[in-house]
């Protein structure tokens, strides 16, 4: 006998009755009451400084030789925007010179940067905060982690 489609199986009602309706724990239909009356503080609006190691080699892989250093600057800007949640990202001249130090083609594989989220003094600006990216000299990148830095302001 030839059948079309997948095979069908007979499952007894006794097997189905032994299993619970759901396998996940429930709260019994009650809403969990938490800290709803307190106003949540937004951590994005705080001024903070952190140090990161950016792996530039993986970010500019496959980019044409004459566009590698400009793309590296764009990737630093994108990384800072993602980590600090600010649209306004400013890159320090020392960081720019380090990226361009080996030429337009040979961008350094890694770079250690200090990202500091700061308040914008310009009242006319659309953004309240901006991120300043500065270069941190580093000879060895082994065992370095992302570090919160106390701001010197």
Distance (Å, whole) CA 147 – CA 136: 12
Tell me the per-residue pLDDT of 134-148, one tens digit each, with 9 for 90 and over.
999 999 999 999 999
pTM surpassing 0.85? no
Tell me the per-residue pLDDT of 89-142, one tens digit each, with 9 for 90 and over.
999 999 999 999 999 999 999 999 999 999 999 888 899 999 999 999 999 999
DSSP state of 78: H
40-to-37, 44, 84 alpha-carbon distances in Å:
9, 12, 19
> CATH number of 46-147: 3.40.1280.10, 3.30.565.10, 3.10.440.10, 3.40.50.720?
3.10.440.10
Tell me the per-residue pLDDT of 20-64, one tens digit each, with 9 for 90 and over.
555 655 566 665 556 555 566 677 788 999 999 999 999 999 999
């Amino acid at each position: 006998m030839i059948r079309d489609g997948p095979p069908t199986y007979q499952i007894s009602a006794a097997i189905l009755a032994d299993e619970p309706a759901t396998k996940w724990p429930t709260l019994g239909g009650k809403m969990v009451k938490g800290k709803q009356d307190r106003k949540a503080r937004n951590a994005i609006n705080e001024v903070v400084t952190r140090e990161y190691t950016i792996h530039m080699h993986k970010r500019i892989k496959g980019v044409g030789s004459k566009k590698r250093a400009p793309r590296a600057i764009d990737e630093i800007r994108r990384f800072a925007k993602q980590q600090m949640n600010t649209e306004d990202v400013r890159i320090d001249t020392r960081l720019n010179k380090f990226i361009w130090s080996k030429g337009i083609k040979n961008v350094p594989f890694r770079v250690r940067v200090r990202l500091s989220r700061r308040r914008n003094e310009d009242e006319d600006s659309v953004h309240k905060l901006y991120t300043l990216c500065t270069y941190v000299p580093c000879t060895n990148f082994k065992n370095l982690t992302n570090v919160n830095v106390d701001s010197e302001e």
